[in-house]
Amino acid sequence: MSLNSLITDWRGRRVWIVGASSGIGEGLATALLARGARVALSARRADALEKMAAAHGEQALAIPLDVTDAAAVAPALLRVLSAWGGVDLVVLCSGTHQPVRAWDLDAGEARRLVDVNINGVFNCLAPVVQQLLQQRAGGVAVVSSVAGYGGLPTALVYGATKAALINIAETLYLDLAPRGINVYMINPGFVKTPLTDRNTFGMPALISVEDAAKAIIVGFECGDFEIHFPKRFTRWLKLLRLLPYRWYFALVHKGTGL
């Protein structure tokens, strides 16, 4: 049984993607525009957004936004509402990544990652949830990561922020689903993006942003709560997390070589 309502047609659907200038957000925006959705594109890089929007005319709307600026989110949402009269789906995929081992931990860098990956989501959720409740319809998707399933080498800060997002998405569902609001938790495995290009280790089951976008859209259409991919990798991680710590730690060390 689906935990969210099904999506059978993207034509004319109003989607706001926060974090649309590169990576998964850009791939998802491109795929949804091809399916006929109207897509509002937000990120800090105004030039990239304007270029994408210009190629799609009135179907796309460029709205530059820095998610760490809490005061800027409500005006950005208002631009979406002014243009389209409402919003059907908000996808929060802004985020950053920096590999960190315990001996390289820098508190200032950690705060920067937390500010973007966690506080940025809260900054967006505050006005977005109020709008969806007012509409009594629509949905919000939080892009986390399988790095949030359990501790992994190099993910000392990044993994912690993604674990927080998993908890946030679960709690959002408990609060909002009874009120008719769809909530999605997106947990990608390794996707080839400028962020994962920073990794210095082998990334199993690495997929393209195009394949990631397809998996996300299928999850939306099926009404899934958790959308995780590629399943040949993510299912093993879910199973790994069920093991006793002695086995978990040993297998993670063996699997990563770190």
Residue 110's identity, in one-letter code, is A
b/e sequence 9-47, b meaning 16+ C-beta within 10 Å: ebeebbbbbbbbbebbbbbbbbbbbeeebbbbbbbeeee
Residue 168's identity, in one-letter code, is I
Rounded-to-integer distance, Cα 25 and Cα 227, Å = 15
Catalytic residue among 149, 158, 173, 184: 158
Q: Alpha helices of the chain — where are they, by DSSP H? A: 23-34, 46-54, 70-84, 107-114, 120-135, 158-176, 209-222, 231-241, 245-256
The pTM of this model reads 0.94
Q: Is 158 a catalytic residue?
A: yes
Contact 208, 191 (CB under 8 A): yes
User: What is the pLDDT, as a whole number, of residue 190?
Assistant: 82
Residue 79's identity, in one-letter code, is R
What are the sequence ranges of the domains in the chain?
14-256
The candidate with the shortest Cα–Cα distance to 16, out of 133, 114, 165, 125, is: 125
- What is the SS3 assignment for 192-206? CCCCHHHCCCCCCCC
pLDDT in tens, the chain (258 residues): 899 999 999 999 999 999 999 999 999 999 999 999 999 999 999 999 999 999 999 999 999 999 999 999 999 999 999 999 999 999 999 999 888 999 999 999 999 999 999 999 999 999 999 999 999 999 999 999 999 999 999 999 999 999 999 999 999 999 999 999 999 999 999 888 776 666 665 667 789 999 999 999 999 999 999 999 999 999 999 999 999 999 999 999 988 888
142 Ramachandran zone, left/alpha/beta (phi>0; psi -120 to 50): beta
Rounded-to-integer distance, Cα 203 and Cα 49, Å = 29
User: What is the pLDDT, as a whole number, of residue 205?
Assistant: 74
In the CATH scheme, what is the code of domain 14-256? 3.40.50.720
